[in-house]
Structure 1
Amino acid sequence: MIRLNDLSFEESISEKTITEAIEKISVEINAAYAGKSPIFMVVLNGAFRFASELISRFEGDCRVEFVKMSSYDGTESTGEVLTHMALDFDLEDQEIIIVEDIVDSGNTLEKLVNMIAGGGIANYSIATLFFKPEAYTKEYKIHYAGLEIPNDFIVGYGLDYNGLGRNLNAIYKLKKTD
């Protein structure tokens, strides 16, 4: 059990399970992008740890670019996706791998796909460490999902609660109050 700010969290996914999920995604991406030089488009802040591990396992040439977006206030989605650092790279004829920490509603993905759609990209795929199928409301295909998880609020491995918890090596879910 850990405490962040005013809330308690209990461990729900071990570091070993996270590492195995990243390895699985890495194998799939290496097979799909063999001989290609994709751009890993990393969604900050949450995806930085996942992206670092994923990209270090990529066996070809690649570029890494960043966008910074947010949609949460505390433990709740605001329903609005804010862009804090926009795309500033050429998309023309590029293979893009969108790297997300977690996909729940899909609102951030929708905004990202709309951002890149007009850029003349060759192709895009979506890689996420965590996927919440119960919460997902969009039609975009999730090409690479490390772990399907329940619709709980989680922290750790890059995910935070009001700025805290990103440094945790395991995943912790919000402890339900009795």
Structure 2
Amino acid sequence: MVVKDKEFVKFISSEEITARIQDLATRVNSDYKDKKPLFVAILNGSFMFAADLMKEINIPCEISFVKVASYEEMESSGNVKQLIGLNENIFNKDVIIIEDIIDTGRTIAKILEEFRSLGASSTEVITLLQKPKTNVSGEKLKYIGFDIPEKFVVGYGLDYDGLGRNLKDIYQLKE
């Protein structure tokens, strides 16, 4: 598979993704059975994951979206820029942040810091992918779909310079 000017190989199939999302949703449904969480999906990358996850959530809940940027081409820039903010009042709410990938963890640490300062009663993260060896944030993540190596990935919402988000599988940069 070629995206822009790079070659990628299939890494995680759409079937594996679907099965893992069902497992994660089962855990969230159980953990929040007596609550009404607010899910906050981080755009753009989490849009497919958020949509498929929400189809499996069967408890009362709300969903909202924020857009942040920290990537430039294939690397995290280290700078977190909030582009579209949260409109909901999150004071005393249980917030579950939906993220596509945790790489360095800087973006999610910044978002968690902001949400905690706004008075969320609890904050958790549900991420489809995590690169544990590069996550320097120190944040303990409760809901992780897949731990992956430090290779660049595209597909299922993840992009390379704006391309590849529409792929149903996840592809890894070919060596």
Q: TM-score scaled by structure 2?
A: 0.97
1:25-70 deviation digits (Å, cap 9, x = unpaired): 1111011000211000100000011011111111111111111011
Which residue of 1 is the match for residue 37 of structure 2? 38
Which residue of 1 is the match for residue 56 of structure 2? 57
The whole-number CA distance in structure 1 between the counterparts of 2:15 and 2:55 is 17
Structure 2, unmatched stretches of 5+, are none
Q: How many residues align?
A: 175
The whole-number CA distance in structure 1 between the counterparts of 2:54 and 2:9 is 29
Please list, as runs of the form range in 1=range in 2, the aligned pairs for 1:36-115 lying within 5 A after superposition: 36-115=35-114
Q: TM-score scaled by structure 1?
A: 0.96
1:83-122 deviation digits (Å, cap 9, x = unpaired): 1111221011101001000011101111101211111111
Moved over 2 A (4+): none
Query: 1:140: how far off?
Result: 1.2
Which residue of 2 is the match for residue 174 of structure 1? 173
Aligned to 1:128, the other structure's residue is in SS state strand
Contact between 2:116 and 2:123, CA under 8 Å: does it hold in 1?
A: no
**Over aligned residues, Cα RMSD in angstroms?**
0.9
2:125 aligned partner, one-letter code: I
Structure 1, unmatched stretches of 5+, are none
Which residue of 1 is the match for residue 147 of structure 2? 148
Which residue of 2 is the match for residue 19 of structure 1? 18
Same amino acid, percent of matched pairs: 38
Which residue of 2 is the match for residue 139 of structure 1? 138
